[in-house]
Amino acid sequence: MSESLNIAVIPGDGIGPEVIAEAVKVLKKATEAEPVKLVLTDYKLGAEHWLRTGETLPEETLEALRSHDAILFGAVGAAPGDTRIPSGLIEREMLLKLRFALDHFVNLRPSRLYPGVPSPLAEPGDIDFIVVREGTEGPYVGNGGALRVGTEHEIATEVSVNTAHGVRRVVRDAFRRANDRPRKKVTLVHKHNVLVHAGHLWRRTVEEIATEFPEVTHDYLHIDAATIFMTTNPSRFDVIVTDNLFGDILTDQAGAITGGIGLAASGNINMDRTAPSMFEPVHGSAPDIAGQQKADPTAAILSVALLLDHVGLSKAARRVELAVETDIASRDELTDERATSEIGDAIAAALS
Amino acid sequence: MSESLNIAVIPGDGIGPEVIAEAVKVLKKATEAEPVKLVLTDYKLGAEHWLRTGETLPEETLEALRSHDAILFGAVGAAPGDTRIPSGLIEREMLLKLRFALDHFVNLRPSRLYPGVPSPLAEPGDIDFIVVREGTEGPYVGNGGALRVGTEHEIATEVSVNTAHGVRRVVRDAFRRANDRPRKKVTLVHKHNVLVHAGHLWRRTVEEIATEFPEVTHDYLHIDAATIFMTTNPSRFDVIVTDNLFGDILTDQAGAITGGIGLAASGNINMDRTAPSMFEPVHGSAPDIAGQQKADPTAAILSVALLLDHVGLSKAARRVELAVETDIASRDELTDERATSEIGDAIAAALS
Ligand SMILES: CC(C)[C@H](C(=O)O)[C@@H](O)C(=O)O
Ligand SMILES: CC(C)[C@H](C(=O)O)[C@@H](O)C(=O)O
């Protein structure tokens, strides 16, 4: 009588398989008591897979992925020095292709400074905000080109594409999330004084959607000013909504001030549920420490919490978050030399 | 028998006139003993001027500005709430127009954590780098548009334009500057795994120019990773070279970690000297504290040092920098309540 929960698992490259092993451990444990039958299907994709097969993301794999309820993703990418792999190929032809093909228009990235975690900021204050990054438009659309490449007359362009459809749905999502949070505040980050056309679309859309949420306040920051506040007063942020590129930049900075992207989780979410959403740590494949059980699986495990939320198992999601919190509170960053699997074990144990 | 040094002065809006008054004070004092006759010409431009006259940057003013040896610029921009001024108009039609018309292809922004200045970072380390930001291309070219504005089918684009000519000259400038510095290291910041065409032009150009500077090492960071290092290890940077938008973002973050953009100077430099270069504090017009003698004129005064360097008066430039350093070392940030003019006086006094 239990419904099945079909999760596609893409461990990927580098530390991806190690952190995903722990995320799966926690996912299994967290859903034990739930009325669902967890079905996990592994997909081999990434730089290693490309080297072996020449495949980035075959059509059949993409179609197969569509049949799952959600995707748990580790990390992809070759070692920086590996010249066998054209730079950025896996990122574009696989990771970004998934985000675009599955219409992951909400790239959700929560940032919280957990009690006990040292921040590189001298006075971090109370950091607890989410970034709602647009995931299917902006400068990420691959809409550029080059002329006379390699000559002194070369010209290379990159086009940021922004549509009312794309901006509206992500801004509405940000206001909805803000409405559910105690502080109920949305900050639009853009650079509308320079990027006039895109900027005005974003601003007008925020003004328009704001009327649907009378309890939510909103303000605006240029991206350059936002990086200043992220340094001097990050507790001013509640919900940030921004485009694909600005969101990429801000969420890495947000990861840094909250103790490193080893703790930063993310969801690539299709809020219309026309395709499965995908949950992944913000960090990359970190080839330098791969295979050594040195990676912190916390970001992958927190991504499981976002996944559980998305598939409607909010109680299980809260339990995972709480278990992570408990584990983090017991850590001594300076002396914590636990292996990846030991951290996973500890968080799984804290679940019950 | 002394040559004249013709400086155009654009105080601008908000705190612009206050900080420029101090910058001029220091400029006069610093050049007293130099074999030049300082000739200063004031130009009224900015938001206030636009409100009175409807002029942003008339052709005649632009032509008049061309006849000077350099431009000293304060800040422009209306109060955020002032709806009489179309948003971004002054920034684009005046500030950016000057940078583009006068071919300011090197936007030079040094970052240094002066001894005694508190950083918002817990362990800032030794921060001393320069950002060489491209100033005439990239997403700043105003090459975008919008279709079906205000409808649900609106589409807005922004085009980043990058040319071999533009990238090469700024990358070469960065390597030259690195070659003159003890650490001799260039870091290219871009996002070439996503912005493929522009990114590859930048990367290839760095590889190409690097061969001209055998003593200079170079590395590469994605913009998102750069914001992390700016937080966790800023002393890794020596010379950063990057495009117009990434440079805008990074230099505000750099200002924040070195004690606030109240100390950050910049030069908009035409290295070919086909038109005058322009020197300005990185900060804006700060309408909230304007007219109250609360602004710190240090960034404007350090911009004078960059100006003096550019016009060949390096000794005077060093004296200004040293005077600023002396003043900063004597400050107690928590109790320093000196008026703008008192700080200017103190730095001018420290010159001799
Ligand atoms: C790997 C890269 C394409 C990706 C991005 O830019 O979105 C990454 O930086 C991220 O933030 O998930
Ligand atoms: C005012 C604005 C157009 C400008 C820019 O984006 O370049 C400012 O932020 C700067 O950094 O000088």
Residue ranges of domains in chain B: 1-107+264-351, 119-258
Q: How many angstroms does the Cα of residue A68 sit away from the middle of ligand 2?
A: 46
Q: How far apart are CA A57 and CA A44, in angstroms?
A: 10
| Average pLDDT score over residue span B6-32 | 98
DSSP code for B229: H
Residue B116: what pLDDT?
87
Q: Which two tokens stand for residue B152?
A: 């649900």
Q: Which two tokens stand for residue B283?
A: 């900060």
Confirm whether residue A285 is marked as ligand binding. yes
Chain B residues in contact with A232 (beta carbon < 8 A): 120, 256, 260
Q: Is B327 a catalytic residue?
A: no
In the block, which residue shows the tokens 């018309």?
A: B101
Inter-residue long-range contacts of A29-36, CB under 8 Å, 24+ positions, other chains counted: A29/A348, A29/A351, A29/A352, A30/A304, A30/A308, A30/A313, A30/A316, A30/A319, A30/A320, A30/A351, A31/A5, A31/A308, A31/A313, A31/A316, A34/A313, A34/A316, A35/A1, A35/A2, A35/A3, A36/A2, A36/A3, A36/A4, A36/A5, A36/A313
B187 closest CA partner among B175, B173, B179: B175
For chain B, the average pLDDT equals 96
Q: How far apart are CA B65 and CA A177, in angstroms?
A: 51
Q: Say whether A156 and B200 touch across the interface (CB within 8 A).
A: yes
Q: Does ligand 1 lie within 6 Å of residue B164's CB atom? A: no
In the block, which residue shows the tokens 């395709």?
A: A275
Whether the per-residue pLDDT at B333 is higher than 60: the answer is yes
| Average pLDDT score over residue span A264-291 | 96
CB atoms within 10 A of CB A149: 15
Residue A155 Cα, gap to closest chain B Cα (Å): 4
pLDDT tens digits along B159-205 = 999 999 999 999 999 999 999 999 999 999 999 999 999 999 999 99
Torsion of CA B24, B30, B36, B40, to 10 degrees: 0
Q: How far apart are CA B311 and CA B6, in angstroms?
A: 10
pLDDT tens digits along B112-167 = 999 889 999 999 999 999 999 999 999 999 999 999 999 999 999 999 999 999 99
Whether the per-residue pLDDT at B2 is higher than 70: the answer is no
Whether the per-residue pLDDT at A81 is higher than 90: the answer is no
Closest residue (by CA) to atom 11 of ligand 1?
A: A248
- Which bound ligand lies closest to the C-alpha atom of A227? 2
Closest residue (by CA) to atom 9 of ligand 2?
A: B248
Closest residue (by CA) to atom 6 of ligand 2?
A: B248
Q: Does ligand 1 lie within 6 Å of residue B224's CB atom? A: yes
DSSP code for B244: H
The DSSP result for A115-159, as a single string, is TTPPPSBSS----EEEEEEE-SSEEEEEEEEEESTTSTT-EEEEE
DSSP code for B96: I
Q: Say whether A144 and B253 touch across the interface (CB within 8 A).
A: no
Q: Strand B155-163: give its sheet, edge to edge.
A: A138-147, A155-163, B155-163, B138-147
Choose, from B114, B140, B309, B327, the residue flagged as catalytic: B140
Q: How big is the CA angle at B167 (ends B166 and B170), to the nearest 5 degrees?
A: 90
Contact between residue B306 and residue B266 where contact means Cβ atoms under 8 Å apart: yes
Considering the domain delimited by A1-107+264-351, tell me its CATH architecture. 3-Layer(aba) Sandwich (3.40)
Q: How far apart are CA A14 and CA A295, in angstroms?
A: 10
Q: Does ligand 1 lie within 6 Å of residue B2's CB atom? A: no
pLDDT tens digits along B224-250 = 999 999 999 999 999 999 999 999 999
Q: How many angstroms does the Cα of residue A173 sit away from the middle of ligand 2?
A: 30
- Which bound ligand lies closest to the C-alpha atom of A265? 1
Residue A2: what pLDDT?
66
- Which bound ligand lies closest to the C-alpha atom of B245? 2
Q: How many angstroms does the Cα of residue B248 sit away from the middle of ligand 2?
A: 6
A245: helix, strand or coil: helix
Contact between residue B301 and residue B344 where contact means Cβ atoms under 8 Å apart: yes
Whether the per-residue pLDDT at B292 is higher than 90: the answer is yes
pLDDT tens digits along B46-86 = 999 999 999 999 999 999 999 999 999 999 988 878 889 98
Q: How far apart are CA A329 and CA A114, in angstroms?
A: 8
Q: Does ligand 1 lie within 6 Å of residue B349's CB atom? A: no
Q: How far apart are CA B256 and CA B26, in angstroms?
A: 25
Report the percent of chain B where pLDDT is more than 70. 99
Confirm whether residue B180 is marked as ligand binding. no
DSSP code for A2: P
Inter-chain contacts counted by CB atoms under 8 A, chains A and B: 211
For chain A, the average pLDDT equals 96
A251 closest CA partner among A280, A220, A209: A280
Q: Which atom of ligand 2 is nearest to the CA of B95?
A: 3
B324: helix, strand or coil: helix
Q: Which two tokens stand for residue A165?
A: 């459809």
Q: Is B248 a catalytic residue?
A: yes
What is the C-alpha end-to-end distance of chain B, expressed in Å? Answer: 24
Confirm whether residue A253 is marked as ligand binding. no
Q: Does ligand 1 lie within 6 Å of residue A96's CB atom? A: yes
Q: Which atom of ligand 2 is nearest to the CA of B251?
A: 11
Q: Which two tokens stand for residue A90?
A: 């896996």
In the block, which residue shows the tokens 């974003």?
A: A202
In single-letter form, the type of residue at position A239 comes to V
Q: Is A191 a catalytic residue?
A: yes
Residue B1: what pLDDT?
45
pLDDT tens digits along A147-180 = 999 999 999 999 999 999 999 999 999 999 999 9
Q: How far apart are CA A41 and CA A68, in angstroms?
A: 9
CATH class of B119-258: alpha beta
Q: Is A272 a catalytic residue?
A: no
Distances (CA, A) of B27 to A207, B31, B320: 46, 6, 8
| Average pLDDT score over residue span A40-59 | 96
The per-residue b/e assignment along B191-223, b for 16 or more CB within 10 angstroms, e otherwise, is bbbbbbbbbbbbbbbbeebbeebeebebebbbb
Q: Does ligand 2 lie within 6 Å of residue B311's CB atom? A: no
B212: helix, strand or coil: coil
Q: Which two tokens stand for residue B121?
A: 């970072």
Residue B115 Cα, gap to closest chain A Cα (Å): 17
Q: Say whether A164 and B151 touch across the interface (CB within 8 A).
A: yes
Residue A78: what pLDDT?
83
Q: Which two tokens stand for residue B112?
A: 């240094």
Q: Which two tokens stand for residue A138?
A: 């902006």
Residue A28: CA count within 13 A, CB half-sphere: 12
Q: Which two tokens stand for residue B157?
A: 């684009």
| Average pLDDT score over residue span A56-84 | 94
Closest residue (by CA) to atom 11 of ligand 2?
A: B248
Q: How far apart are CA B42 and CA B32, in angstroms?
A: 20
Confirm whether residue B236 is marked as ligand binding. no
